[in-house]
Amino acid sequence: MEATLPETETLPRPTGCIEGIGAFHDPPRTTTGCDASGRRRHQRPQSRGATMDVAATAVARHPLERLDLCRIPCQGRVSAATAALLHGLLVQAGRRPALLTPEGGRIADRLFPQRPMRDEAPEWARLLATHVRWGGDCLVVEEDAEIQALIQDARPRARVESTATGRVRLEAQALHWRGTRLRVLGLPGTPERTAHLPLVGTSNLRGLEAALDLALAAGCPVPRALGALPLLEPPPGLLEPVPAGQPFAVFIDRASSATELAALLSEARALGGRRILLVAGIRGASGSADRMALGAAARAADEVVFTSDNPGHVPADGILADLQLGFGGGALEEPDRHEAIRAAIRNARADDVVLIAGKGALSFQEVRGSVVPWDDRLHARDALASRGWVGDSL
């Protein structure tokens, strides 16, 4: 783990400029002074050209020059969990981080759910300038090719990057759908700690291990980092629980391919639930082979409901038929995703695990050329409420 400390010399804030927005100019002022004879003399105002040169130099500076950059290579579920958990650890440590991932960003404490694209670099730079003015001091990125292109020309104040071997090691003592008990090892001079937290799943725990390592490299004090563990929220869309006081688990997850679904079901099986009830679909842009592969991966669940997941212009019947063919027949089909979620939760019993896969934290659904608001978490809560489980919302 390597971290480059910021330079001791702070960057001066240019007069008459707001980073990333443009320059504002004070009106020319005439200053006075005295010549050798003691008589007052007038000095000529600064030329407009000189003022514009100063403003242009200030505007050219990227907001990252005022931020520490924590880079995480994009590597699927683990890197997504690492980025979200590192953001949470830095917040608990008193920092003001921004977050930029292939799924979107959280900048100046506002959520931007659109995928960052390289041709939108000026817009994201303006958002980061807003983050700096808001008091932001660091940026966490889960870096794919698009995000790398967004920031490749910027020089951050400091860099914090992951390495192959970290000093923090987490050892799970108990895995359950309600949460995890683990030991924190590998911190020199720090006694072994036991932590209880609502985080579940091996991918999330591996992400937490990497996030702790990065947080310490970024200067987060060890006691504060360890004290923040029980306060961390699960990463959005990665075995994200929907709690309403029910005696069974309901998780939202973004797994939308055969490989991701197989990994999700393997992690869920280790949580000690009695049965796994799966709600799954696949995007309309997928091919028949991908649909059949996802259907085959779903066999690892105990009960399956196939449903829609951004079908677009593709008829739902054709998608469901391919999923059913890969599954081998016998799964429940419900094209209405809301009703599919209700069906799975209606059938859940104590200690079962309900997995709602495919969309994760995405907040929209594409159906027949229209993009409509959608949140699996809200529909899961509605289904739980229909059974009388409302948690502390009343």
Task: Tell me the per-residue pLDDT of 352-389, one tens digit each, with 9 for 90 and over.
Answer: 999 999 999 888 888 887 888 899 999 999 999 999 99
Query: Is residue 17, in this structure, part of any structural domain at all?
Result: no
Band of the pLDDT at 165, cuts 50, 70, 90?
low
Torsion of CA 317, 323, 327, 332, to 10 degrees: -40
What is the pLDDT at residue 22? 35
On average, the pLDDT of the chain sits at 84
Q: What is the pLDDT of residues 194-225, one digit of tens each?
A: 888 889 999 999 999 999 999 988 888 888 88
Q: What is the pLDDT of residues 326-355, one digit of tens each?
A: 999 999 999 999 999 999 999 999 999 999
Query: Is residue 301, in this structure, part of any structural domain at all?
Result: yes
Provide the residue count of the chain. 394
Instruction: Decide if pLDDT at 5 tops 50.
Output: no
Pair 245, 381 in one domain = yes
Mean pLDDT computed over 269-281: 95
Domain edge (last residue) among 107, 139, 161: 161
Query: Is residue 316, in this structure, part of any structural domain at all?
Result: yes
Pair 244, 377 in one domain = yes
Q: Is pLDDT larger for residue 151 or for residue 370?
A: 151
What is the pLDDT at residue 141? 96
Query: Is residue 210, in this structure, part of any structural domain at all?
Result: yes
Band of the pLDDT at 24, cuts 50, 70, 90?
very low
Q: Is pLDDT larger for residue 332 or for residue 172?
A: 332
What is the pLDDT at residue 392? 65
Pair 245, 377 in one domain = yes
Pair 288, 374 in one domain = yes
What is the pLDDT at residue 310? 87
Query: Is residue 8, in this structure, part of any structural domain at all?
Result: no
Pair 174, 245 in one domain = no
Instruction: Decide if pLDDT at 32 tops 60.
Output: no
Q: Find residue 197's DSSP bridge partners.
A: 180
Pairing assessment for the beta strands 332-333 and 303-306 based on DSSP bridges: parallel
Instruction: Lowest mean pLDDT of 46-50, 226-230, 352-356, name the range.
Output: 46-50
What is the pLDDT at residue 25? 36
Instruction: Lowest mean pLDDT of 44-48, 121-125, 184-188, 353-357, name the range.
Output: 44-48
Domain edge (last residue) among 208, 231, 254: 231
What is the pLDDT at residue 86? 96
Dist CA 72 CA 113 (whole Å): 19
Helix axis angle for 288-297 and 316-327, nearest 10°, is 50
What is the pLDDT at residue 164? 57
Mean pLDDT computed over 265-269: 96
Q: How many domains does the chain have?
A: 3
Cβ 337 vs Cβ 281: under 8 Å = yes
What is the pLDDT at residue 188? 67
Pair 85, 186 in one domain = no
Band of the pLDDT at 192, cuts 50, 70, 90?
confident
Tell me which residue of 287, 288, 284 sits closest to 313, measured CA to CA. 284
CATH of the domain at 79: 3.40.1190.10
What is the pLDDT at residue 152? 87
Dist CA 253 CA 341 (whole Å): 13
Pair 305, 247 in one domain = yes
Pair 180, 133 in one domain = no
pTM of structure:
0.81
Pair 114, 201 in one domain = no
Pair 319, 270 in one domain = yes
CATH of the domain at 359: 3.90.190.20
Query: Is residue 152, in this structure, part of any structural domain at all?
Result: yes
Instruction: Decide if pLDDT at 299 tops 90.
Output: yes
Q: Could you tell me the residue range of the domain that residue 334 belongs to? A: 240-386
Instruction: Decide if pLDDT at 23 tops 80.
Output: no
Pair 251, 280 in one domain = yes
Percent of the chain with pLDDT over 70: 82
Pair 210, 250 in one domain = no
